[in-house]
Structure 1
């Protein structure tokens, strides 16, 4: 049976691109690393890597084994942390995976509160461009907990955190900006506009395309960016409207913020591969209590009742 050390060597060789660099990173001798890796190949019954003049390349068996090796190493790390937590140790790490747009909008205030309550527990953040990539990371065992839309047919534990509204942002001198407080806008009325869009590999690109498709058109792109915060800035500069999570709009933002009619939303959840341990469950409790899916300053501008928690 493969050992964790052998799986660690496989991952290190792939990530480093060579046996030599992997040995240096792991602070082991190259002959010792090679010996353990050859034992792993004998265990699985065939080569996992093809040795090239400049680097290595995974074989089909190696490509099949690599994600399981990463998951096993991550799970072993979490097992150690879980045991320390159960023993009352107040140090360690919470591995948290999320989307870029959630990381920039929803999480900062919650992580600030978490830090004050648990100063000895570090947070390691894994950020992804799309919901699909986030789910794939969780399947691979990257993190203890994910915050984002729940993947289809997810078999692990999930907790509903709330429904996040999206808003349309435009420049202050846009004709839409003169409609006053609580202004609404039909996306169909923006069909002839060039939009501040998102790069194709960003999950927000598909979200914007789907919202516009429901309104009966396909948005033209004036510029594309990967980040919601950058899209807000470009829209404020007059490059075109954009559609972003309300939590992405900064406080004291001087430009136009409008509510799509009908509303455009996404449901956020906290989900895990298995039952969350006490630390992950505690973070979920805090997130559910304090996450500002619709920040007060945005809610007031839209004429909505701000969240009171």
Structure 2
């Protein structure tokens, strides 16, 4: 049976890419480290690492085992922290993994209320550009709770938060829209150059998928890594963009339009196992106070009927 020490050694060798560097970080001799790695490989029934001249590479068995090893080590750290919190030796800390756009739009109000209710609790955020990276990091034990689109094939508990509406942003005087318009066919913008996002950014994937469903590939006017900059650039006339409605700030002077067909994703909170009392309390605050359609947008935008299909949501 694998021991926690062996799992720690395995993860450290992978992180450093070297038995020598791993031994130095762990403050053990290299022969002792190699012995523990051989014992671990014997316990699991095969090689986990391929030793190369200047580095190491995971074998298929090693790739399968690594996320479980990281999750086990993370769970031990959380167990130690919980015991210290119960003994009054440290303040409670909640580790929360999410997407950058959710940090920008959904979490500020939730965290404000949480801090009022639990002033002694610390929050540590781990932010990701893409749902797949968020899900993989959560599976590897990065955080106590993930907040993001519904993960595919997730085995642990999932709590629905609500429907995340996406909006098209154009300048207030955009010639393609009338003053009374609240919706727009994506095909009406097929000839435009768009405010887009870099490869690997989930919002860029959503934009590409929505345009592909409408029968065209968006041309690029500019790519921005800053989620908050996209609607500002669009309002300035650089090109239209597609973003979650909840990131639009109060006093925004661009025009917001529902795309047709609509673009949505279901936001959830999910854990690997049954959440502890602190995580459960945060999930309750999140589901009660998350604003997926902020009050300042409700007079302009309204939710479509639920029978419309929801596209893939990276």
Q: TM-score, normalised by structure 2?
A: 0.83
What's the counterpart of residue 209 of structure 1?
A: 208
What's the CA shift for 1:183?
A: 3.6
What's the CA shift for 1:166?
A: 1.3
Q: List alignment gaps of at least 5 residues for structure 2.
A: 304-314
What's the counterpart of residue 309 of structure 2?
A: none
1:132 is the counterpart of 2:129: no
CA deviation string 1:194-215 (max 9, x = no partner):
1112333222223223323443
Give the distance between the partners of 2:58 and 2:261, measured in 1 at CA.
Answer: 49
What's the counterpart of residue 37 of structure 1?
A: 37
What's the counterpart of residue 63 of structure 1?
A: 63
What's the counterpart of residue 268 of structure 2?
A: 269
What's the CA shift for 1:81?
A: 4.2
Give the distance between the partners of 2:114 and 2:33, measured in 1 at CA.
Answer: 40
CA deviation string 1:38-57 (max 9, x = no partner):
33234334443233332322
What's the CA shift for 1:8?
A: 0.7
What's the counterpart of residue 12 of structure 2?
A: 12
Secondary structure in structure 2 of the residue aligned to 1:102? helix
Map 1:232-243 to 2 at 5 A: 232-243=231-242
What's the counterpart of residue 253 of structure 2?
A: 254
Asked if the contact 2:221/2:238 (under 8 Å) is kept, the reply is: yes
What's the counterpart of residue 53 of structure 2?
A: 53
What's the counterpart of residue 23 of structure 2?
A: 23
Inter-CA distance 44–232: structure 2 relative to 1 (3 Å threshold): same
1:120 is the counterpart of 2:103: no
What's the counterpart of residue 190 of structure 1?
A: 189
What's the CA shift for 1:251?
A: 2.5
Asked if the contact 1:168/1:243 (under 8 Å) is kept, the reply is: yes
What's the CA shift for 1:32?
A: 3.9
Secondary structure in structure 1 of the residue aligned to 2:228? helix
Pick which of 1-10 and 259-268 moved more: 259-268
What's the counterpart of residue 91 of structure 2?
A: 91
Give the distance between the partners of 1:27 and 1:250, measured in 2 at CA.
Answer: 50
What's the CA shift for 1:129?
A: 2.3
Give the distance between the partners of 2:176 and 2:249, measured in 1 at CA.
Answer: 19
RMSD, aligned α-carbons? 2.8
CA deviation string 1:48-70 (max 9, x = no partner):
32333323222333223212211
What's the CA shift for 1:283?
A: 0.7
Give the distance between the partners of 1:216 and 1:53, measured in 2 at CA.
Answer: 50
Inter-CA distance 189–89: structure 2 relative to 1 (3 Å threshold): farther
User: Paired residues, what number?
Assistant: 303
1:105 is the counterpart of 2:105: yes
What's the CA shift for 1:262?
A: 5.1
Secondary structure in structure 1 of the residue aligned to 2:234? helix
Q: List alignment gaps of at least 5 residues for structure 1.
A: none
Asked if the contact 2:129/2:200 (under 8 Å) is kept, the reply is: yes
Asked if the contact 1:90/1:120 (under 8 Å) is kept, the reply is: no
Asked if the contact 1:181/1:303 (under 8 Å) is kept, the reply is: no
Give the distance between the partners of 2:152 and 2:50, measured in 1 at CA.
Answer: 36
What's the counterpart of residue 76 of structure 2?
A: 76
